[in-house]
Amino acid sequence: MYALSRPHVVRRAPILEGTPLPLLALRGAGHARAVGAGAAQGALLATAAGWMVPRQDPSRGFVPVGVAAVAMLGAVGAAAAPWGAVGYLLAPLWLWRRRARLRQLGLDTPDARLALAGAVLGAILGLHLGITASLTLGYRIGRPAPFEHGPWLAYDLGANVLAAECFFRGALFDRAQRRWSFGAAAVISTTACVIRYLLDPLLPRTLEVVAGAAFYVGLLSVANCWLYWRSGSVVPGFAAGVVFFTVYRLLHVVR
């Protein structure tokens, strides 16, 4: 009940403190050369880790490099073969093993009730998207195909949703809400999150898909900001994002 009655309170820190700028420059250059989504997700995870590792931790410089490298391994594996996408799961395992150094993300203290609430929220948004798309845009929810949707699930678990929650909620929103109101911090986090998805090269470039992505990602982001604000953990938002994208991946154009 405590987590539901008041927000998680954390230490205030400079908004860009701990940002691995040289690593981000390298990753940005790689992304410009079409290295792939792994570079972008690795950059987000590296920044989140750099912001969250305590200043006095002697491994502060190693953690961002390590998580970025692990994220890239997943991208390389997925590019090599469909089953290689399982490499994406190395990133959450790597972060879990180092959760003691990333306590501000709340990886080791998730609230089970809020995690369940996040999963339910993701299901509701996903089903609403499916119904809306089927009624207005000519899409339908298809039957899951393990060899088709398995790699996407690994990507969402170990890169897409993981990086979004760690950076946009655990890092960016976390620092912004220490300085300004919840509303202002949520606007900053949500705007950055929507821009990230609109610039995603994997997003189909049709007007209805872009508009839908902005709407549903915006709703999901605001809700996940609230979940983080109440729990101090990225786990509830992670559950919401994974369930939502699992439903989203099932959408197919009706021919």
What is the span of the domain harbouring residue 51?
2-253
Considering the chain, what percentage of its residues have pLDDT values greater than 90? 38
- Terminal Cα-to-Cα distance of the chain (whole angstroms): 49
Measured on CA atoms in the order 7, 10, 15, 19, is the torsion positive or negative?
A: negative
The whole-angstrom separation of Cα 175 and Cα 153 is 29
Count of the separate structural domains present in the chain: 1
Q: Which of 40, 64, 42, 53 is nearest to 104 (CA)?
A: 53
Decide if 14 contacts 47 (C-beta within 8 A).
no
- pLDDT category at 55 given cuts 50, 70, 90 is low
pLDDT value at 169 more than 90: yes
**According to the per-residue pLDDT averaged within each range, which of 51-65, 172-186, 195-209 is highest?**
172-186
State the average pLDDT for the chain: 81
- pLDDT category at 242 given cuts 50, 70, 90 is very high
What pLDDT, on the 0 to 100 scale, is given for residue 116? 95
The whole-angstrom separation of Cα 75 and Cα 86 is 10
Summarize the confidence of residues 40-44 as an average pLDDT: 84
Tokens describing residue 90: 């190395």
What pLDDT, on the 0 to 100 scale, is given for residue 37? 66
What pLDDT, on the 0 to 100 scale, is given for residue 70? 82
